[in-house]
Structure 1
Amino acid sequence: MATNDEIDSRLKQLAIAAKNHPHKTVERQKAVTKLYMEIEKYKIINCPKNRNFSYQIYQEICAEAKQDLMLRICRELHNYRPEKEVSQWVNFLMIKCFQEATPKVIGVKDRKRLYCENMDLFFDKLKKQAEHDLYRIESALIEMIKADPGDAFKSEASKKYPHVNFQLLLVKRVVEEASWQQISEELGVSVSNLSSFYRRSLEKFTPRFREYL
């Protein structure tokens, strides 16, 4: 396994090589792509910590920011200084991408509504109930999700990815407690698309869930 110094040395070589190619050339684009692939390979990208958002909203913002990161690396490569570690520079750019991605994912007008209605906060509220009530409520919710009377949740399917439906995501997230990344890898759909569909579905079915609070 490569050490941090070896990883940094490798990435610096690639960054400098890409920087030396003229702007807007095929060679530069190929070099930047190679650099980005190595950055992903070594998993040096860190999404900025932010506790103002629920887990799924935070994941969606991170996914959106990561999608923009390669473009920003390409656009700002001339600013890279070899005396700095590539990981420091990349994560500085990631902070900018995160800041820009946030309003794309959560509009100012929607922020309050989304905070009140997302499932993570819904279950946080359950955890504050008395212990015996918590078990009863959680059991009832899980049974409702599994039974899905009238196939209401199952019928709520993604138009873009028909194999993804709301019941499937509820089971994965609430019953199996799978992470968005695990679900993404299993279903072959990005975290951003999954969490967006999940959030919209939660908003639609909030009244049904509230019956169990």
Structure 2
Amino acid sequence: MPSKDEIDDRLKQLAIAAKNHQPQTVERQKAVTTLVMEIQKYKIVKFPKNFSFTWEIYQEICTEAYQDLMFRICREIKNYRPEKEVSQWVNFLIIKCFQEATPRVIGRSDFKRSYYKDIDAFFDGQTNQQEDESDLLAKALIEIIEEDPGDVFKSEVSKKHPQVNFQLLLVKREIEEVSWEQISAELGVGISTLSSFYRRCFEKFTPRFREYL
């Protein structure tokens, strides 16, 4: 197992390489994919501690936040600052992802969100530009989910529950922000079954999502 310094150096080299490629090119996609795979391999993500929820809900929040983190790394790699370790950058982002995922998971639109608005102080002042670009990318992903070219998401159907397909869950979870409890009641399928199917599909189609980043 490499030392922490070796891991930091490896991730920094990958992040810089990905950052230096032009956006929406095959080279950047490949570089970012390699970076994400190495981040997963070395398990550098540290989730915020929160004892306000049951263990099951906390795990679901972590799962949602982790999925969001993978997208955020892809679309915000241009904002990585080489003077920071990749682990610092990633674990700063996971805090934001955790905070944003929490109200979606617990199904409360009035849940108080605490966003880290001082990202400009942390990354030399690019907040508004980052948020504007992220919004544009989010809209592009929403269009892909809703239009589903070739019905690739819709064709991914649960074997035991044919009324459940990945596109349906994507719309409800990522666009309409419906809680698992509501989806479960509507479809008549258990939460654990739905979330497990969703996670498997999400992992399967992550490379396809990256094509549009």
Q: If the TM-score is normalised by the length of the shorter chain, which range does it land in?
A: 0.5 to 0.7
Could you list the runs of 5+ residues in structure 2 that have no partner in the other structure?
A: 112-156, 162-191, 199-213
Q: For residues 192 and 48 of structure 1, what CA distance do their matches in structure 2 show? A: 25
Following superposition, the deviation at residue 162 of structure 1 comes to 4.0
Q: For residues 194 and 87 of structure 1, what CA distance do their matches in structure 2 show? A: 28
| Percent identity between the two aligned chains | 69
1:51 equivalent in structure 2:
51
The change in CA–CA distance for 1:160 and 1:20 in structure 2 (over 3 A counts) is same
TM-score between the two structures when normalised by the length of structure 2: 0.52
The change in CA–CA distance for 1:30 and 1:195 in structure 2 (over 3 A counts) is closer
Is 1:5 the counterpart of 2:5? The answer is yes
TM-score between the two structures when normalised by the length of structure 1: 0.52
The change in CA–CA distance for 1:86 and 1:27 in structure 2 (over 3 A counts) is same
Question: Which aligned pairs between 1:1-213 and structure 2 lie closer than 5 A?
Answer: 1-108=1-108, 160=158, 162=160, 193-194=195-196
Amino acid aligned to 2:52: N
* Paired residue secondary structure (2:49): coil
Q: For residues 110 and 57 of structure 1, what CA distance do their matches in structure 2 show? A: 17
The change in CA–CA distance for 1:23 and 1:195 in structure 2 (over 3 A counts) is closer
The change in CA–CA distance for 1:109 and 1:13 in structure 2 (over 3 A counts) is closer
The change in CA–CA distance for 1:63 and 1:191 in structure 2 (over 3 A counts) is farther
Q: For residues 24 and 45 of structure 2, what CA distance do their matches in structure 1 show? A: 25
Amino acid aligned to 2:195: N
Q: For residues 108 and 67 of structure 1, what CA distance do their matches in structure 2 show? A: 20
Following superposition, the deviation at residue 110 of structure 1 comes to 10
* RMSD after superposition: 2.7
**Structure 1 residue ranges, 4+ long, deviating more than 4 angstroms after superposition:** none
The change in CA–CA distance for 1:81 and 1:64 in structure 2 (over 3 A counts) is same
The change in CA–CA distance for 1:191 and 1:53 in structure 2 (over 3 A counts) is farther
The change in CA–CA distance for 1:32 and 1:192 in structure 2 (over 3 A counts) is farther
Computing the radius of gyration over CA atoms, which structure comes out larger, 1 or 2? 1
Q: For residues 110 and 197 of structure 2, what CA distance do their matches in structure 1 show? A: 16
Following superposition, the deviation at residue 160 of structure 1 comes to 3.5
- Asked whether the 8 Å contact 1:45–1:94 carries over to 2, the reply is yes
Following superposition, the deviation at residue 18 of structure 1 comes to 0.2
Could you list the runs of 5+ residues in structure 1 that have no partner in the other structure?
A: 112-158, 164-189, 197-213
Q: For residues 191 and 89 of structure 1, what CA distance do their matches in structure 2 show? A: 33
For residues 11-70 of structure 1, the C-alpha deviation after alignment (integer angstroms, 9 at most, x for no partner) is 000000000000111111111010000000001011111111110000000001111111
Q: For residues 71 and 92 of structure 1, what CA distance do their matches in structure 2 show? A: 14
The change in CA–CA distance for 1:85 and 1:7 in structure 2 (over 3 A counts) is same
* Paired residue secondary structure (1:108): coil
- Asked whether the 8 Å contact 1:60–1:191 carries over to 2, the reply is no
- Asked whether the 8 Å contact 1:50–1:58 carries over to 2, the reply is yes
- Asked whether the 8 Å contact 1:69–1:94 carries over to 2, the reply is yes
Q: For residues 192 and 89 of structure 1, what CA distance do their matches in structure 2 show? A: 32
Structure with greater helix share of residues: 1
Following superposition, the deviation at residue 191 of structure 1 comes to 9.4
- Asked whether the 8 Å contact 1:61–1:98 carries over to 2, the reply is yes
